[in-house]
Amino acid sequence: MNETWFRDLGRAMRSGSAVVVHPNLARRALSCHDTYMANRPAAPGPDLLLRTLAEFRYELRRFLLFSECAALEAGLQPQQHQLLLQVAGAPENTAITIAYAAERLGLKHNSAVELVDRSEREGLLERTADVDDKRRSILLVTRKGRLVLGRLAGNHAKELNELAPRLTRALKHISFNAQRSNDAEAR
């Protein structure tokens, strides 16, 4: 028996894969410790955590792709949809300015200005002068913008209801595997 065979056998056992070994060979090559280790769950480590993070990211990306397609079908660019959502969904007593929108969308100020200009031209948003500070404008969603946003909100709520169990499961796996990974590092 060569070293490669033992290494491959060990990998298969640690991964939880089924291992078929001739009984005579098994007696010579496997110890009780090996048998015990084969029945344990996969060892915590960065690979398991990375798999769970990848799964969570995949589920998020599926939702974002759904959202982008829904916005396009409604006649909006995806960023316009996000802008309308942030303006309409801002907390009460919040000055909804271009700076606010840029921060919420993760855009530079000049990119937010262009997005607001386009949305205003299409009748989705309007600007009013800020009574407290004449240098800035307050953004408001128009009736047309609210109608489009209302249709999209219903579709998004339905999609999130279907997605929620998968996202919740992925979050639980991330939490569990992150804790296992941290515990393993502490040892």
Residue type, 36: Y
Residues 6+ positions from 55 with CB-CB distance below 8 Å? 170, 173
Q: Write down the residue that tokens 């200005």 correspond to.
A: 113
The 3-state secondary structure of 82-144 reads: HHHHHHHCCCCCCCCCHHHHHHHHCCCHHHHHHHHHHHHHCCCEEEEECCCCCCCEEEEECHH
pLDDT for residue 44:
52
46-52 mean pLDDT? 82
* 177 pLDDT tier (thresholds 50, 70, 90): confident
Least confident of 17-26, 81-90, 170-179: 17-26
* 75 pLDDT tier (thresholds 50, 70, 90): very high
Taking the whole predicted model, whether its pTM rises above 0.85 is answered as: no
pLDDT for residue 18:
45
Question: 46-186, what's its fold?
Answer: Arc Repressor Mutant, subunit A (1.10.10)
133-151 mean pLDDT? 94
Outline which parts of the chain fall under CATH 1.10.10.10: 46-186
Start-to-end C-alpha separation, the chain: 33
* 183 pLDDT tier (thresholds 50, 70, 90): confident
Q: Which tops the pLDDT comparison, 177 or 39?
A: 177
